Amino acid sequence: MKRILVTGGAGFIGSHLCDRLIKEGNDVICLDNYFTGSKRNIEHLLSHPYFELVRHDVIQPYFAEVDQIYNLACPASPIHYQYNPIKTTKTSVMGAINMLGLAKRIKARVLQASTSEVYGDPEIHPQTEDYWGNVNPIGIRSCYDEGKRCAETLFMDYHKQNQVDIKIMRIFNTYGPNMHPNDGRVVSNFIMQALKDKDITIYGDGSQSRSFQYVDDLVEGAIRMMNSPKDFIGPVNIGNPNEFTILELAQKVIELTQSKSKIIHQELPMDDPLQRQPDISLAKEKLNNWEPKIQLEEGLTKTISYFSKLIKSEY
Residue from 3, 5, 6, 8 that binds ligand NAD (CB under 6 A)? 8
> Which of ligand NAD, ligand UDP, none does residue 227 bind to, with CB < 5 to 8 Å depending on kind?
none
Q: What is the DSSP code string of 35-47?
A: SS--GGGGGGGTT
For ligand UDP, the closer of residues 23 and 260 by Cβ is 260
- Identify the helix (H) or strand (E) that includes residue 192: helix 186-195
Which of positions 66-105 make contact with ligand NAD (CB under 6 A)?
72-76, 91
| Helix/strand number for the chain, H first, E second | 9, 13
What CA–CA distance (Å, rounded) separates 167 from 76?
19
For residue 97, CA distances in Å to 46, 47, 113, 295, 298 come to 29, 32, 14, 36, 38
CB 108 within 8 A of CB 66: yes
What CA–CA distance (Å, rounded) separates 72 from 87?
15
> Which of ligand UDP, ligand NAD, none does residue 8 bind to, with CB < 5 to 8 Å depending on kind?
ligand NAD
At its nearest, how many Å lie between ligand NAD and the CB of residue 290?
A: 17
Q: How far is CA 315 from the centre of its chain?
A: 30
> Which of ligand NAD, ligand UDP, none does residue 208 bind to, with CB < 5 to 8 Å depending on kind?
ligand UDP
CB 93 within 8 A of CB 71: no
- Our finding on whether 32 is near ligand NAD (CB under 6 A) is yes
Active-site residue set? 144
At its nearest, how many Å lie between ligand UDP and the CB of residue 315?
A: 23
Residues in contact with ligand UDP by CB under 6 A are 78, 173, 185-186, 189, 201-203, 208, 210, 246, 269, 272
- Our finding on whether 51 is near ligand NAD (CB under 6 A) is no
Which of positions 172-211 make contact with ligand NAD (CB under 6 A)?
173-174
Binding site for ligand NAD (CB under 6 A): 7-8, 10-14, 32-37, 57-59, 72-76, 91, 113, 115, 171, 173-174
